[in-house]
Amino acid sequence: MAKKFPPGRCTHCLNFFDKLTADHVFPKSWYPESTPENLEKWQIPACHRCNEEYGKIENDLLQRIGLCLDPIEISSLGITDKVLRSIKPEYATSKKDRLHRQKKREKLIRSLMPRNQVPQEAFFPGFGAPSDRNILGNFVVRVPKAGIKALAEKLVRGITFIVDNRFIEKSHFIDLIVADEKSAQDLIEIIRRFGDQYHKGPGIRIGRAVAQDNIDSAVFEIEIWRRFRFYATVEPRESS
Ligand SMILES: [Zn+2]
């Protein structure tokens, strides 16, 4: 059920609104079918505009990344199927819906590329190896970095609000770090030693460590579907 938030600030743009919507930190549709039914899905206050804008970005990412997942992996159970259904015109409930599905399908097809034309370093960490169970076969799908950056920013703001009941003010900025586990070793070690882990069912895991001398600075590890993993930092804008 959607939470009700009293008038206050939007977690994302930080402006004050009389009316706030309940924004899911992790989109509802991203939770795999293996998620326990009674799991509390984190919700945060957001203005209508931010909620809608992030909704579009998340949908686009889900479409693309969903196709690259293993359809029978328990941590992402049902995600690939959901994406496939959403682009099949035969599931349409109206003429408009049918057109919408066709458009989505065409857009996705346009972002496909033959695997052998993509250099290894262009793959998102964890997605470079071909798999028998990958429905894309010899194709790969382009994922916009700006979308992942926006997602990282949203999740970091959301998790900070949930855990600390705080906003990340304009004095700080959020940086996305795309790295494989080996390159991110130092960061992972800091989180493991000094941080906390949060699990949201089998599909979502977050690690977070906050700096001891400045609670606004933090490092994050975000892992979705055990596969889509990235890191983020929150730092002061001007280093003194
Ligand atoms: Zn907003």
| Residues 108, 191 within the same domain | no
In the beta sheet, which residues pair with residue 223?
205, 229
Q: Which domain holds residue 29?
A: 8-141
Domain boundary among 141, 161, 181: 141
CA of 51 to the centre of ligand 1 (A): 7
What SS3 state is found at 17?
strand
Cα 14 to ligand 1 centre (Å): 6
Residue 161 CA to ligand 1 centre (angstroms): 14
The per-residue pLDDT for range 145-190, each reduced to its tens digit, is 999 999 999 999 999 999 999 999 999 999 999 999 999 999 999 9
Rounded to the nearest whole angstrom, what is the distance from the C-alpha of residue 52 to the centroid of ligand 1? 9
In angstroms, what is the span from residue 45 Cα to ligand 1's centroid?
A: 9
Both 183 and 112 in one domain: the answer is no
Nearest CA to 107 out of 86, 124, 137 is that of 86
Q: Which of 110-119, 128-137, 218-227 has the lowest mean pLDDT?
A: 128-137
pLDDT digits (tens, 9 = 90+) for 37-52: 999 999 999 999 999 9
Domain count, the chain: 2
Residues 117 and 205 in one domain: no
pLDDT > 90 in the chain, percent: 88
Buried-exposed string 152-165: b where 16+ CB fall within 10 A, e elsewhere: bbbbbbbbbbbeee
Query: What distance in angstroms lies between residue 126's CA and the mean position of ligand 1's atoms?
Result: 32
| Span from the CA of 90 to the centroid of ligand 1 (angstroms) | 36
Residue 98 to residue 220: CA distance in whole angstroms: 40
Q: What is the CA radius of gyration of the chain?
A: 19
- Residue 133 to residue 72: CA distance in whole angstroms: 8
